[in-house]
Amino acid sequence: MTDLIVRGGTVVTAAGAAIADVAVEGGRIAAVGPDLGSDAREVVDAAGLLVLPGAVDVHTHVRVASDAEPDRFFQDSVAAAFGGTTTFLAFNNPGTGGSAAAGRTLLDGLRSWRARTEGDAAVDYAVSLVITPQLEDAIAEMAGAIELGVPTFKAFMVYDFGVDDATLYRALAMAGASGGMLQVHCENAVLLEALTARHLEAGETLPRYHATSRPPYVEAEATARAVALARAARAPLYVVHLSCREALDVVRIARAEGRPVFSETCPHYLTLDESRYLLPSEEAAKYVISPPLRAAGQGDALWEGLADGSLALVGTDHVPDRVAVEKRSWRESFDRISNGAPGIETLLTLVYSEGVAAGRISLERMVDLLATTPARLFGMRFKGAVEVGRDADLVLFDPGARRTLRQADLHHTSDYTPYEGRAVVGAVRSVAVRGSWVVRDGAFVGRRGFGRFVERELERLS
């Protein structure tokens, strides 16, 4: 017998939208079509609502639980559910030191991360492994990680856990040869250190100098270098958190040449600008992220990139930092402030409101950007579409709702939202993961540990 029929909603795929029923059996979508009847254990009326595939957020820094904060991983997974995200990717980064799950080798780190997150999430999740100089011979272990269902890796061109060009080249080559993909943080470390030092020598320590210490050319140069390294290494390249037209131009040229270069942008670059850094310092610290927020108008260029296919998807770069904890060093100087901002719960809402409702992208393109393409690029074949045979990860979304985003209404483990007070159109009503409700009419009805680790395998991209 059919487990669930969602009746009469507007089912949206990357290719089109139509009023249809969705039947679910054994956690998978069994049928999509008109009038599937009501012969099911549960029938849910979705008239007037959009039926979307759950968002797949491929860029989060959800923290694993610790003795001091045992609910951190679970609670951010609940926030994901409320936002309509049914699968998220986190990172295991041994270079940051703070993570007990890090491990000293890539594979030790993976085993430890798996153990620490097992049975903890409310929605499905996966992990990317960060290649850092702190690991012993990480590149040699990449193939082993790919065999264990973890085919994506991250490398930073900046920070003390960043890699030099030679290491980045070797990691790209290994990924290209063994069916993996590298997610690269592209900024020029030499330039941003020089610009930071110049500010500090001049006594310019306020958060507003964060933006001028890493201007667009710092990002664009590194993006171009990563493209060249990937080209020589015969590897696909995934550029994380692209923030500006200058870097977008680099990606556009590479894609026009037919190279397997993919890039994401993030909701904050689409909806906020650098004027936030002129706020009083404690407030401005909330927006200290890297790359920084850019000049007004840059967001329009990114929306165009999303609309025309130059940008592959939107990820959040969710960092659950708190002003009162990780960011409290805002008093010292801009370069001492923890980088990052929360966003796991507001992804779908913001892209719908500012993208679809504002007329910048179509509904179908939004589904492609938030679900179908991230699932495909990151090797999750059962995720990302309301289609027969896929996991029944469903979001019932009310396109006519109007509300105001407030920290007080969110569920993430940060103590603020960058979007406080922002009026938005649209609201997530109910969310199912593999056919089981985790959010129902705005209330959490899921369970800790229901979320499963997703083993992934990439399509050949190059």
- Contacts to Zn ion by CB under 5 A: 317
Q: Smallest gap, in angstroms, from Cβ of residue 412 to Zn ion?
A: 15
Nearer to Zn ion, 90 or 394 (CB): 90
**Least CB distance to Zn ion at residue 347 (A):** 14
Closer residue to Zn ion in complex, CB, 8/109: 109
Pairing label, strands 261-265, 313-314? parallel
Select 57 or 317, whichever has its Cβ closest to Zn ion.
317
Nearer to Zn ion, 158 or 386 (CB): 158
In 13-137, at which residue ranges do the beta strands (DSSP E only) sit?
17-25, 28-33, 40-45, 50-53, 55-57, 85-92, 124-130
Identity of the residue, 264 or 317, whose beta carbon is nearer to Zn ion in the bound complex? 317
Report the candidate in 282, 191, 286, 183 with the shortest Cα–Cα distance to residue 242. 183
In the complex, least distance from residue 156 CB atom to Zn ion, rounded to whole angstroms = 9
Classify 393 as helix, strand or coil: coil
For the chain, the C-alpha Rg in angstroms (whole number) is: 21
Q: Is 296 helix (H, G, I), strand (E, B) or coil?
A: coil
Q: What is the nearest approach in angstroms of Zn ion to the Cβ of residue 210?
A: 16
**Residue 91 Cβ vs Zn ion, minimum distance, rounded to whole Å:** 7
3-state DSSP call for residue 140? Answer: helix
- Between CA 387 and CA 392, with CA 391 as vertex, the angle to 5 degrees is 80
Element (H, E) at 154: strand 152-156
| Beta bridge partners of residue 263, listed in sequence order | 239
Residue in the shown chain whose Cβ atom is closest to Zn ion: 317
Comparing CB distances to Zn ion, the nearer of 98 and 203 is 98
417: number of Cβ within 10 Å: 21
Report DSSP letters for 191-219, one per residue: HHHHHHHHHHHTT--STTHHHHTS-HHHH
Nearer to Zn ion, 134 or 205 (CB): 134
In degrees to the nearest 10, what's the CA dihedral of 207, 213, 217, 219?
Answer: -70
Pairing of the two strands 443-444 and 436-440: antiparallel
Nearer to Zn ion, 156 or 419 (CB): 156
To the nearest whole angstrom, how small is the minimum distance from the Cβ of residue 158 to Zn ion? 12
- Smallest distance from the beta carbon of 317 to Zn ion, in angstroms? 4
Nearest distance, CB of residue 80 and Zn ion, angstroms: 15
